[in-house]
Amino acid sequence: MSNSTVTPVVPRPVTITLPGVQLQGDLTFPSGASSIVVFAHGSGSSRLSARNRWVAEQLVEAGHATLLFDLLTREEEAWDARNASLRFDIRLLAGRLVGATTWLSMHDATRELRVGYFGASTGAAAALVAAAALPERISAVVSRGGRPDLAGTALAQVRAPTLLIVGGSDREVLALNRAALAQLTVQDKKLVIVPGASHLFEEPGALSQAARAAREWCDRWLAPKPSEATKKAR
């Protein structure tokens, strides 16, 4: 048996320049990746979210590139810490997510990648609104402990296969997710309930179950289409 180990893929710091704002991010690009999952963090969090970064590592192991970035600038984060207003500005957050997706399309290494979104808490609503705005670009959406209800009328406009992951003990959010699932008109949609898990999936094994479900969803819907695979082989 070989004692060799797989060399970990190191995240690369990037600056996402959008009109009037610069956002900091971490791009992780495993060799041969044909897809990328863009993370939208939740209320009061950032690209340094330990839970999101752990889930991202599982996706990277599966061959997906990942982009975790701050939806707010440092100044905006300081303002939001005082009044908790920007974290619920779904239009603003979704606009930043759309901007980051456009930024990816401007670079040779990432412009051809299939794109999925992973959103947590209010970031899930932003991911769904952004996916509705980019129906031809977004191939999958995953929400973990999310507030998809905050996406409002955009739910009916989402065309990407959507997975909602909720803790079984997170009763209020579970009810909101069930209602949001009913409003999604996309054919490929699913609600996964992690038994005994609370909102932050802090219970032993809970986050692993959520990550496994997210990985399976991304593996399924972000896989290259037959025509794309043939083109890549050539």
Q: What is the pLDDT of residues 40-61, one digit of tens each?
A: 987 666 777 788 889 999 999 9
Q: What is the model's pLDDT at position 44?
A: 64
Whether domain 12-223 has CATH 3.40.50.1820: the reply is: yes
Q: Is the pTM of this model over 0.75?
A: yes
Question: Could you give the CA distance from residue 79 to residue 221 in angstroms, rounded to a whole number?
Answer: 37
**pLDDT beyond 50 at 233:** no
Q: How confident is the model at residue 226 (pLDDT cuts 50, 70, 90)?
A: low
Question: What integer is the mean pLDDT of 150-160?
Answer: 97
Q: How far apart are CA 120 and CA 210, in angstroms?
A: 11
Whether the pLDDT of residue 115 is over 60: the answer is: yes
Burial of residue 37, with CB atoms counted within 10 A of its CB: 0-12 exposed, 13-18 middle, 19 or more buried? buried
- Mind listing the pLDDT tens digit for each residue in 6-28? 457 888 999 999 999 999 999 99
The residue type found at 7 is T
Instruction: Show Cβ contacts of residue 60 under 8 Å, excluding neighbours closer than 6 positions.
Output: 9, 28, 30, 66
Whether residue 179 is predicted with pLDDT greater than 90 in this model: the reply is yes
pLDDT, tens only, 134-147: 999 999 999 999 99
